[in-house]
Structure 1
Amino acid sequence: MVKRAENARERFEAAAYSLFRQQGYAATTVPEIAAEAGLTERTFYRYFTDKREVMFWRAGDHQVTIANEIARARAGVHPLTMVARAFESVAPFIDGHRAIVKLRQRLIFTHGDLQERELMKLHKLASAIDLALQQQGIRPSFSRAVAEIGAAIWKVALENWHADETEKPFSSHVQAALTEFQAGLHQVAG
């Protein structure tokens, strides 16, 4: 039986970001990440398919957290408000890991393969939101539209959070993106 290394994912993640910061994403190799983490390359591949995935593995955990928050939402709350509040549930992680999340965003902005992976993760996030909203009784066509808008709000909020030199919390950027979207709808309708 294969023994699992304690906190291996976190160790690989910390090592990868340290190396990405020092020598750049493109110049960093899996063997270097493994050595920096004090683990083997073979162990790396038990947890990740490639070095890109080190930057995206937490997305699944965030999706589960967001979907669970939507499932706990009170009846009568607008679905888009449910989604925005669910996003706020991961704000403590984002704000608490500011340096790593900002580095991650910078790397995504500058590497096409990471942008592609990010789009795939956003699609999965929208699908998880869609399913959670349907389980709340929202009809499928409307839940899908809200989920896609929600994923766009997530993306805008994260981009604005990344660019914010005053370091406002992520939740304030989620609310600002939602408010701006809603105001834009009223302008178009008015």
Structure 2
Amino acid sequence: MVRKAENARERFESAAYSLFGEQGYAATTVPEIAAKAGLTERTFYRYFTDKREVLFWRAGVHQLTIINEIARAPAGIHPLTMVARAFEAVAPFIDSHRPFVKLRQLLISTHGDLQERELMKLHMLASAVDLALRQRGIQPSLSRVIAEMGAAIWKVALENWRADKGEGNFASHVQAALAEFRAELHVSERPG
């Protein structure tokens, strides 16, 4: 009987980020990640399809958190506010893993294949938000627009968070991006 390695996914993640930081993403191999994690290459492939997936596996976990927050949001608030508040639920993870998240964002910004993967994940997030809003009774065309705006707010907030020399928290960057968006487009707080 094969036993699962304790915290294997997290161990691979930690080892990968360490190696990415030391020698770069392109130069890092799966065997090196496995060795640094103290696990086998075969075990790596039980959890990840490739080294790229190490940077993206948490997206599904974050997406589920966001969707659950939208589902339990109070009635009567604007859908875009609902989405922004749901994004804030992920802030504790982002803020407490600042070095990894900053390195992740740097790697994505400098590697085309990672940018493509990030765009796919953002599309998946927008689709999930769209469905969650429709389940809340928001009309489909409005829910899709709000979901796409939400994905843009997420992206801008994350970019601004990464660039913030004062290391402000992610939630404040979500709210700042939302406020800037509202100010420019004069989006009211009325429910949709």
Normalising to structure 2: TM-score of the pair? 0.96
Aligned to 1:70: 70
| 1:2 Cα deviation after fit | 2.8
Distance, in Å, in 1 between the alignment partners of 2:32 and 2:178 is: 41
Spell out, residue by residue over 1:89-139, the C-alpha distance to the aligned partner (whole angstroms, 9 max, x if none).
000000000000000000000000000000010001001101110111111
Spell out, residue by residue over 1:11-46, the C-alpha distance to the aligned partner (whole angstroms, 9 max, x if none).
000000000011000000000000000000000000
Distance, in Å, in 2 between the alignment partners of 1:2 and 1:57 is: 23
Aligned to 2:172: 172
Distance, in Å, in 1 between the alignment partners of 2:2 and 2:48 is: 16
Distance, in Å, in 2 between the alignment partners of 1:62 and 1:77 is: 22
Distance, in Å, in 2 between the alignment partners of 1:151 and 1:2 is: 40
Aligned length: 187
Distance, in Å, in 2 between the alignment partners of 1:173 and 1:16 is: 27
| 1:160 Cα deviation after fit | 0.2
Distance, in Å, in 2 between the alignment partners of 1:8 and 1:135 is: 35
Alpha-carbon RMSD across the aligned residues, in angstroms, is 0.9
Larger RCO: 1 or 2 (CA < 8 Å, sep 6+): 2
Aligned to 2:112: 112
Match of 1:6, SS?
coil
Aligned to 2:85: 85
Aligned to 2:42: 42
| 1:83 Cα deviation after fit | 0.2
In the TM superposition, structure 1's runs of 4+ consecutive aligned residues that sit over 3 Å from their partners are: none
Which residue identity does 1:11 align to in structure 2? R
Answering whether residue 172 of structure 2 is matched by residue 181 of structure 1, we say no
Distance, in Å, in 1 between the alignment partners of 2:5 and 2:119 is: 30
Spell out, residue by residue over 1:31-65, the C-alpha distance to the aligned partner (whole angstroms, 9 max, x if none).
00000000000000000000000000000000000
Which residue identity does 1:33 align to in structure 2? I
Match of 2:74, SS?
coil
Distance, in Å, in 2 between the alignment partners of 1:2 and 1:51 is: 23
Which residue identity does 1:60 align to in structure 2? G
| 1:153 Cα deviation after fit | 0.2
Match of 2:186, SS?
helix
Distance, in Å, in 1 between the alignment partners of 2:7 and 2:144 is: 36
Aligned to 2:31: 31
Aligned to 1:94: 94
- Structure 1 unaligned blocks of 5 or more: none
Distance, in Å, in 1 between the alignment partners of 2:2 and 2:175 is: 45
Aligned to 1:160: 160
| 1:186 Cα deviation after fit | 2.4
Which residue identity does 1:21 align to in structure 2? G
Distance, in Å, in 1 between the alignment partners of 2:109 and 2:47 is: 25
Distance, in Å, in 2 between the alignment partners of 1:13 and 1:89 is: 22
Normalising to structure 1: TM-score of the pair? 0.97
| 1:3 Cα deviation after fit | 1.7
